[in-house]
Amino acid sequence: MAKEKVTIQDIADALGISRNTASKALNGSNNIPDETRNKVIKKAIELKYKQFAFMETDNLLSRNSGNIALLTENLPDTFHFGSTLISGLEKHISAEGYNLSIHIIRDNEKESLSLPNNFDTSNVDGIICIELFNLEYSKLITSLDIPTIFIDCSAHVCYPEFQADVLLMENEHSTYQLTKKLIDAGYTTLGFIGDYNHCKSFNERWAGFNRALTEYGIQLDRSKCILDDDRQFFSSPAWADDKLSNMNELPSAFVCANDYIAVSFMKALKNKRSIPNDIVICGFDNAPESSIVEPHLTTVHIYSNEMGIKAAEMLLSRIHNPKQPYQVTHIYTKPIIRESTPHIS
């Protein structure tokens, strides 16, 4: 018999708290005490709940020879490449004698530019930022004079002024390559879906998309793109349907900033068009859902575990040699062609 999946209710029952409290703690709610949040996260790791299954309880929130703090606005879920990335990261820093603690940045802390209550700068050897795209808050972190690496970062970061290392997956060339293949296959009306100001990786994917259009002499048609602020995406169940309905004419192909966006719009498109007969679509991340959705989604594979290991190596190098020049590093990615774009190879 297959093992039943762990639920939030299981975590709540194990701690003797309500399901609502456990859910709020895992989702970074502002009104949950840090002590309760840490207990819930620790129990989620013990029970191997979703994205917490990659961590080792003995290494989290404990003291050994050194401490690395992971700061994030949102803990990556199983759809996000970051869950596997953190696995490689945690294992590597643990092998070097460091412990990993997680700190979720709440909205009020972001707005007031204040650090989490349980974040003690005197007890932190290095900082890893993931899913932290607010530029002003990023500058607050870099002003602490603690070795720091950002895994992806604000789209508005100016590298010569940014006092931290940055690790990214390769975005521009792979998106350029996919867009070029679409054009070569005869898809000459193309639209981009995603907020290119959301983060540096989305911005680079937008750049790759536009580079391909420019090389082929195709003028960008923003009326065939959906470029809203990221906070608007999926703000309601009908949001994607409404955006598509408001388009006078759909493009022949959509290039999406990530798989989550692509899969969501595939569901909305199926009410209006046949995929891939009437319109084709591709994403980015190679999330698990990309190979489950019908038709299977053309995407770009990210070597997430290897990125986690590289992030750990870069941070440890910075800890040991804090005066070295800052680095911006890209890890190669790999386009994967599937049924959602049947005429490209």
Residue 100 phi, psi (nearest 5)? -110, 125
Q: Is 158 exposed, middle or buried (0-12, 13-18, 19+ CB in 10 A)?
A: exposed
> Do 92 and 85 meet the contact criterion of CB atoms below 8 Å apart?
no
For the segment 40-93, what is each residue's pLDDT rounded down to a tens digit? 887 887 787 876 655 555 444 444 468 999 999 887 665 566 777 888 888 889
pLDDT digits (tens, 9 = 90+) for 180-226: 999 999 999 999 999 999 999 999 999 999 999 999 999 999 999 99
Give percent of the chain above pLDDT 70: 91
Closest among 89, 100, 126 to 307, alpha carbons compared: 89
Backbone conformation region of residue 38, classed left if phi is above 0, alpha if psi is from -120 to 50, else beta? alpha
110: enclosing H helix or E strand: helix 107-112
Question: Which residue, 131, 157, 153, 136, is CA-closest to 71?
Answer: 131
Under 8 Å between Cβ of 272 and 306: no
The confidence score (pLDDT) of residue 19 equals: 85
Question: What pLDDT, in 10s, does the model give residues 292-324?
Answer: 999 999 999 999 989 999 999 999 999 999 999
- pLDDT tens column, 1-34: 445 678 888 888 888 888 888 887 877 666 777 6
The full DSSP string for 1-29 is -PPPPP-HHHHHHHHT--HHHHHHHHTT-
